[in-house]
Structure 1
Amino acid sequence: SPRDVYTGSIGYILPNNDMMFNVAIRTISKYHNEKFAQFGAGGGITIQSNTLDEWNEIKIKTKFITNFYKTKFGIVESMLFKDNNIQNIDKHLNRLKNTADHLLFECNLEQINNRVLQYIKNEKLSDTCKLRLELDYQHNLLIEHCAIAKAKQPIRVGLLKHKIDTSHFMFKYKTTSPLTRGLYTELHNKYTNDEVDEIIFVNQNNEITESRFFNIIIEYQGRLITPPLSCGLLPGIFRQTMIDNDELVEEIITPNMLKSATRLYLCNYVRGLIDCVFIGEIG
């Protein structure tokens, strides 16, 4: 990425010649037309560089931010326990680690994996169930499980007319943040009823994104397609598995495409592919 503000000096001189300057090494920038501030940290890579050393150096450079950055939301991962194993546990834990790295959480995958295996042993899990992890900023790990209710298919899905601004980077991560998943839960509770089981969201560009807990797949003109991550949605593991197997392609989906689709599905790794019927716009 571009280096942006780096070295030199930034400051001001008052009419009475009072002045204040700094050395632009650790600089937070906010442009007048942007919502968020930015801070960059990096290093010079040479042929003798070591990946872990470079990463640890970046963590040192950002420590002054992590000292006051104390988030209250947690990072969530939901997994399928089946046949005495957690299905695709490596992919789930890698997604958890990726989210933790981007959101400045400490995350030791070996310790988390051991905790999960110990939980399964202590709870004597054997039946198929959903296993949920929640990691908070203070390194506390909550593990719980529940039975997977069988949903009647097809489920009835409506498209929310209200557009959601998914430009916030948090929409890419599975957390308990009220800005993203919390907002989706609030809207889900408001608009679902005896006639609507799930709602699909559309972003500020009039592009279909996702549902509260599910990625979206439609059959359109003989192909199975799903919105790209750039529309503002979670990188679902079931979704990615279908893409890797050449069963699914990414393409922007408009509301008109959704209405014209020959099949509609919701999906996640716990519940798999769920057949749906589109009932129209709501809200």
Structure 2
Amino acid sequence: QRLTEFADARRASLELALYSTAPIHEDFEKLKLANSLEFMKSVYGANDPLAQRVLKGKTPEARSAELIEGTKLKHSAYRKQLAAGARKAIEESNDPMIDLARSIDREARGARKRYEDEVLGVERTSYGKIARALFETEGTKLYPDATFTLRLSYGAVKGYWENGRFVPSFTTLGGLYARAGKFRSKFPYVLPPRWMERKPMVNLKTPFNFVSTHDVIGGNSGSPTINKRGELVGLIFDGNIQSLVGNFDYDESVNRSISVDVRGMWEVLRKIFDANEIVDELTKA
């Protein structure tokens, strides 16, 4: 049964992504897959038949490396070859990633159906009821839910207290390296080799991320963070753990959005990636 994201209406955009010759960064793919495998192991348990079938007696990191290094799907030409050969070519393929997908297809579809029925279906039904109830009781005192329309959210850069410890409003590049060192660069606190090699060149006092009281929600990632002078100072990409209830409630004392600081972007682009032309274009325009 075809999944909804593979509808004919989306075929053009799907093929554009599928046949793209953009480079695939293996280290990043290994990190993402290892994180997913670790999560699966924690949910199902190491002795679960599914976990054992997927991990094949290896750690999530080792299994991820084995799969990413062994697959030919990272090559655009091979993806085109499979698509041209249609179902028969895929069924006859012994690529490790395709083998993995085949081996968990039944369980994956079952988990997805359960999530769609028990979570998404309930949410879709309930959101409308909650929105109507809020409007009837609060009127225009509350702003409406995000509906993919353009809107502004105001806030201030501000730290917060968590479990008796004050969380400062800014982190630094030095803190990033320190955290990797504290955990001896073990997963998931591993910095790419290039970051480690260029560390002597980096100003470790440079702000990297900052938190603010903006009330945002999933789907806002990548939105510009602008100061009162209209200057771009960051890009929002996440929220703290306390913001997970943001669909239903907001507490300014602890809810925080997280942005990457443009000063951190510039420092990394210049010192680690040698992308001076990009920074010059952004700062001198």
Q: TM-score range by the shorter chain?
A: under 0.3
Q: Identify the structure with bigger relative contact order (alpha carbons < 8 Å, sequence gap 6+).
A: 1
TM-score (norm 2): 0.25
Q: More strand by proportion, 1 or 2? A: 1
TM-score (norm 1): 0.25
